[in-house]
């Protein structure tokens, strides 16, 4: 009688271990793909596209970062 419960806890803990391990691997791989290293030009391009800055200010800022 006790043998059945012990076996089910052992199998359940192994399944839980493997699920957590697989979830951790997926999370690490997903996090490594998200590279947050945007260049200054990428940021300026986004700001121009969203309308935060106009074309004149964009060209001035590009000239400033090239120096």
Query: How far is residue 8's CA from residue 56's CA, in Å, rounded to a whole number?
Result: 70
CA angle 41-43-46, nearest 5°? 110
What is the pTM for the complete model shown?
0.45
pLDDT at 42: 87
Q: Report how far apart, in Å, the C-alpha atoms of 34 and of each of 29, 52, 60 are.
A: 9, 25, 30
Domain boundaries, the chain: 1-34, 37-67
- For residue 9, pLDDT over 90 is answered with no
- For residue 1, pLDDT over 60 is answered with no
Is 28 or 34 the better-scoring residue by pLDDT? Answer: 28
Strands (E), the chain: none
- For residue 13, pLDDT over 70 is answered with yes
């Amino acid at each position: 009688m006790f043998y059945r419960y012990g076996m089910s806890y052992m199998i359940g803990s192994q399944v839980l271990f493997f699920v957590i391990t697989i979830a951790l691997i997926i999370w690490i791989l997903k996090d490594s793909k998200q590279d947050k290293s945007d260049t200054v030009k990428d940021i300026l391009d986004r700001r121009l596209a969203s309308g935060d800055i106009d074309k004149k200010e964009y060209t001035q800022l590009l000239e400033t970062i090239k120096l």
